[in-house]
Amino acid sequence: MNPSAQKVWNEANQKANQGRRFTIDPITRLEGHGKIDIFLDAKGDVERAYLQIPELRGFEVFSLGRPAEEMPQITSRICGVCPTAHHMAATKALDDLYKVEPASAARKIRELVYNTFVMEDHALHVYVLGGPDFIVGPEAPPELRNIVGVIQKVGLEMGKTVISMRRRLREMIAYFGGKVIHPVMGLPGGVAKGLNPSDLGRFKELARDNQGFAATTLQVFKDIVLKNPEYVKMITSDGYTHKTHYMGLVDKNNKVNFYDGLIRVVDPTGKEFAKFPVQQYRDYVGEHVEPWSYIKFCYLKPLGWTGFDEGPKSSVYAVAPLARLNAADGMATPKAQKAYEEFYKTLGGKPVHHTLANHYARVVEMVYAAERIEELLNDPEIVSKEIRTIPTQKPTVGIGVVEAPRGTLFHHFETDDNGIVTKANLIVATQNNASRIAMSVDKAAKSLIHNGQVTEGLMNKVEMAFRAYDPCFGCATHTLPGHTPLWVRIFDPQRQLVQELIRG
């Protein structure tokens, strides 16, 4: 760094540090910090702004030399936010590794547990993480924009229901897999524990209550969000809209499925672009690295890297609830299908390109998960003792996929003849979404920075732009100060840091 740039950097750094509030809340790790880099051109306008997605170091090195059977446990330990998604993707990769079809009852148990996890995680987001924006309202005073404000709005009884449903759903996950955070359930070809018929009654009761909970949530969302023209205007505003491709798992009827199916991609007009089994993901998902950055931006390989652009020729795609709805032809259960149709009617037809519609799409998916849980518990085979097909094939390559709450999650392992890992690769939902998230952050920054002048409101607008995706930084925070700190760095055309803004 040259001396003048060094001086600017030091001053900016000092100034930023003065502003730090020295409070610690280690639980901030859950959401992580948003680290945004903004590059200015010679005129001082924004050339490009990026959200840095923190990278986990050493995963492949850690995996090498370990038995593949450990991967469902190891990967579920990496991230405290999505343990069940990693566990299930790795378990399915093991099925593929040993070329074994899981026993029919085991497959149903996995799908039951998986839908329960999606239900619970979505409920947390609707009420706790997204709730402050949508239930309390983006314009509400800051002291009300939190979980306490959400409960005031939806009522104390509903608040208690949210907490108790979450506990009961997690108990069902734990019944099959032990600890929610470190599940021990998936084995190649099956699951470790079946459902005892004597326990079926209480789970069916949970499923009924859960259906009621999902229906109430949909009603709460309609009453509070959709009946407010201001919210609908914000959801559909240009600032939060990008016309990209969408990716999601679909069943044989092209209906949304979280656990299994083919990966379907639709173009920005909603037309099918590709449909393929996960084993071919390398043919469709490319990873582009910007020269200045360590982030990998996923894109649709057949189209080649087209840059951070939207439209029919762009290779950028999105995942997560909105993308799943767009990539499918509907929902496989009746109440969810009704909610799906209403979703598109409300937002002006398919596909919907408004990023903030993810919150609504999440509620539609909760309705589906609740119905699917009940269907699976009503299936007589769910209590079968035939829960394992013993693998007989030699392991080579195993690739698995699930729809994590935040989007498509790929696990890819290769082993030697003894099942010892020789190669490991994960593509997580936030990586799949990285290009589109970058575009949203860029759009916000461009509208707010001109001639090198950073206008007020940058932080809020930029933060809203990426928060809508619910990007998961699960493993990467550990910063003082306390509340989802936002860290913006601004670079001049020589790539020297000229300004740093930290808000805690």
Closest CA to 336 of 273, 228, 227, 258: 258
User: Residue 135 Cβ, how far from another protein at the closest point, in Å?
Assistant: 11
Which CB sits closer to another protein, 135 or 316?
135
Q: With CB under 8 A as the contact rule, which of the stretches 278-286, 351-359, 430-438, 481-489 interacts with another protein? A: 481-489
Window 6 to 25, contacts with another protein (CB under 8 A) = 23-25
Among 159, 178, 270, 286, binds another protein (CB under 8 A): 159
Closest CA to 63 of 90, 44, 101, 38: 90
Among 44, 45, 47, 78, binds another protein (CB under 8 A): 78
Rounded to 5 degrees, φ, ψ at 80 are -80, -5
Spatial distance between the Cα atoms of 328 and 240, rounded to a whole number of angstroms: 22
Binding mask 449-468 for another protein (x = CB under 8 A): --------------x---x-
Rama region for 258: left / alpha / beta (φ>0; ψ in -120 to 50; rest)? alpha
Question: Residues for the chain: how many in total?
Answer: 504
User: Residue 354 Cβ, how far from another protein at the closest point, in Å?
Assistant: 19
On whether the CB atoms of residues 491 and 44 are closer than 8 A, the answer is no
Q: With CB under 8 A as the contact rule, which of the stretches 52-60, 185-193, 357-365, 397-405 interacts with another protein? A: 52-60
Q: Is 200 in the site for another protein (CB under 8 A)?
A: no
**Helix (H) or strand (E) run with residue 201 in it:** helix 197-221
Q: With CB under 8 A as the contact rule, which of the stretches 163-171, 337-345, 385-393, 490-498 interacts with another protein? A: 163-171
Tell me whether residue 79 is exposed, middle or buried, using C-beta atoms within 10 angstroms of its C-beta: 0 to 12, 13 to 18, 19 or more: buried
Residue 342, both tokens: 């209403």
Which CB sits closer to another protein, 192 or 480?
480
Instruction: Report the sign of the C-alpha dihedral through residues 238, 240, 243, 248, in that order.
Output: negative
Which CB sits closer to another protein, 64 or 390?
64
**Strand order through the sheet with 317-318:** 272-276, 262-266, 245-250, 317-318
Binding mask 108-147 for another protein (x = CB under 8 A): ----------------x---xxx-xx--------xx-xxx
Residues near another protein (CB under 8 A) are 23-31, 54-59, 61-62, 74, 77-78, 80, 124, 128-130, 132-133, 142-143, 145-149, 151, 156, 159-160, 163, 166-167, 180-182, 463, 467, 475-476, 478-480, 482-484, 486, 503-504
